[in-house]
Amino acid sequence: MAELPGKALAEELAAASRDESRTTPIEDVIAAARSPGLDDDAVHRLVSRLWVLERMFYYVYGGWGQGLEINDFPASIKYLFSKQIVDESTHEMLYLDTLLRRGCVKTQKEAFQHPYGGFSVDSGVAYYVFSLRNLATYPHPIRIAALNLGPKIVELAWMEALAAVIADPALKQVFASQAVENRSHIAMGRRIVEEFVERPVDQELCRWACAIARQDYRRFLHETGDFVLRRETPPPPVARVRVTD
């Protein structure tokens, strides 16, 4: 049986992301959750910032979906993408429900109005979201590779580590419950890259897009960690990219 054209690339991208996931800007939050534990305000801050990110995926995936055409990919690929949209929506509602159940806010309207849940264009989350949204102009396999074999792998690692040290059963489940969906998204990314990324130019675009997505996600995690721990630290360095016309 012939080897899938993008199999080696998929493993390469996943391995690079696993390496980065061993040390993320959220490590100090995990350490604080372990001892002495996150206070109510820190939990409010953390869940709110993650909620902001999740609700922005409606914007990201809306742009990506516009780039899909009839018969350009098998129906199964589009089904998996649709499932990922539903999963992100579920996570967005999970975070909002957590804020309501913990009494951080009384209503959904208040959650949007609260400073912790606001979206600012001058922020790490905006930088990451706009970076993903800009991938709408690239072929579907490239943007899926960038997200699902990049930040999704990093997210799975830190979220599992955080869930392992949280003492509160309900809050622990908020993070632990997302592992199934994240693994599904990673598997989808691997499948799409293996089957549909064949040309050298597309493989290079996947490497570039995945590295940029991880870099911008780390910027978001750094901002979130500082916000949760109520501190300010220098942001991670940004790789310089040479642009030619």
Tokens 């534990």 -> residue = 37
In this predicted model, what pLDDT tens digit does every residue of 42-87 receive, in sequence order?
999 999 999 999 999 999 999 999 888 877 888 888 999 999 999 9
What is residue 68's predicted lDDT score, i.e. its pLDDT? 87
What is residue 227's predicted lDDT score, i.e. its pLDDT? 98
Tell me the Cα Rg of the chain: 18
Average pLDDT over residues 24-50: 97
Average pLDDT over residues 90-94: 98
Using a pLDDT cut of 70, give the percent of the chain over it. Answer: 97
What is residue 244's predicted lDDT score, i.e. its pLDDT? 46
CATH class of 7-228: mainly alpha
Residue 243 has pLDDT above 80, yes or no: no
Residue 235 has pLDDT above 90, yes or no: no
What is residue 242's predicted lDDT score, i.e. its pLDDT? 61
Cis omega (within 30 of 0) for bond into 36: yes
Residue 245 has pLDDT above 50, yes or no: no
237 contact partners, CB below 8 Å, separation of at least 6: none
What is residue 3's predicted lDDT score, i.e. its pLDDT? 85
In this predicted model, what pLDDT tens digit does every residue of 105-132 receive, in sequence order?
999 999 999 999 999 999 999 999 999 9
Residue 207 has pLDDT above 70, yes or no: yes
**Between residues 8 and 242, which one has the greater pLDDT?**
8
E strand intervals along 9-156: none
Pair 105, 118: CB distance under 8 Å: no
Q: Which of 58-72, 100-114, 174-188, 231-245 shows the lowest mean pLDDT across its residues?
A: 231-245
Average pLDDT over residues 144-171: 98
Residue 201 has pLDDT above 70, yes or no: yes
Give CA separation, 204 vs 39, 77, 100, 209, in Å. 44, 22, 44, 9
2-6, Cβ contacts within 8 angstroms, sequence gap of 24 or more: 4/194, 4/195, 5/194, 5/195, 5/197, 5/198, 6/141, 6/193, 6/194, 6/195, 6/196, 6/197, 6/198, 6/203
What is residue 2's predicted lDDT score, i.e. its pLDDT? 67
Residue 41 has pLDDT above 90, yes or no: yes
Average pLDDT over residues 201-229: 98
What is residue 134's predicted lDDT score, i.e. its pLDDT? 96
Residue 137 has pLDDT above 90, yes or no: yes
What is residue 241's predicted lDDT score, i.e. its pLDDT? 61
Domain boundaries, given as residue ranges, for the chain: 7-228
Residue 179 has pLDDT above 90, yes or no: yes
